[in-house]
Amino acid sequence: MESHGGLFAAYFPLFAAEMQRFAAAGYVVLYPNPRGSTGYGEAFADLLYHDYPGGDYGDLMAGVDAAIATGDVHADSLFVTGGSAGGTMTAWIVGNTDRFQAAVVTKPVINWISKTLVADNHYGYANSRYPGQPWENPMAYWEESPISVVGNIETPTMLMVGLDDLRTPPSEARQLYHALKIRRIDTALVEIPGASHGIANRPSQLAAKVAY
């Protein structure tokens, strides 16, 4: 399963090199548009107001269950990934279930408090994403941060981020990587030199991302 970024975005029926690469390797690729996605009207997109990433977790798990029910997917051979908001969601998923055999968390937010005060779009989070500023309502930010469920993670998890990423800075990925190292969970950190938040904008960067 691949979760999209945005989080106000959506997957459309367009050619995607990474999805095709997974399919060519024999994987069934599920790339759903859970609540909060665009393309289904304003009310649907606003369902995650003050409730992300917890709000669409159930939608994604329902999608996995539906895929398994087709008979084409093995319940004991599931993998999960996603970038940006999808990376945040992937980290949240493995903090809430151990049904996936491995995960790749790409350019994530791991701690909403630190991200909000460091990222290039720091000014856009208070009250819109979560109520108040981080110092005014820290628990609202903390309770929706994947770092808050890191003690539950047992899934082997790779972190990947561009070293020039200003939207989800490398320090975010490193927080989860270091926490998993401390807990002795299988993990790896891939930092792509010269890559920004558009981690695969160059052909060489896309090749590196897919190879890892």
Coil vs helix vs strand at 89: helix
Q: Which of 3, 37, 84, 145 is labelled catalytic?
A: 84
Is 77 tagged catalytic? no
Spatial distance between the Cα atoms of 15 and 11, rounded to a whole number of angstroms: 10
Is 122 tagged catalytic? no
Q: DSSP string of 47-80?
A: GGTT-TTHHHHHHHHHHHHHHHHTTSS-TTS-EE
Q: Which of 3, 4, 145, 197 is labelled catalytic?
A: 197
Burial of 169 (0-12, 13-18, 19+ CB in 10 A): buried
Which amino acid, one-letter code, is at 6? G
Please give the positions annotated as active site: 84, 197
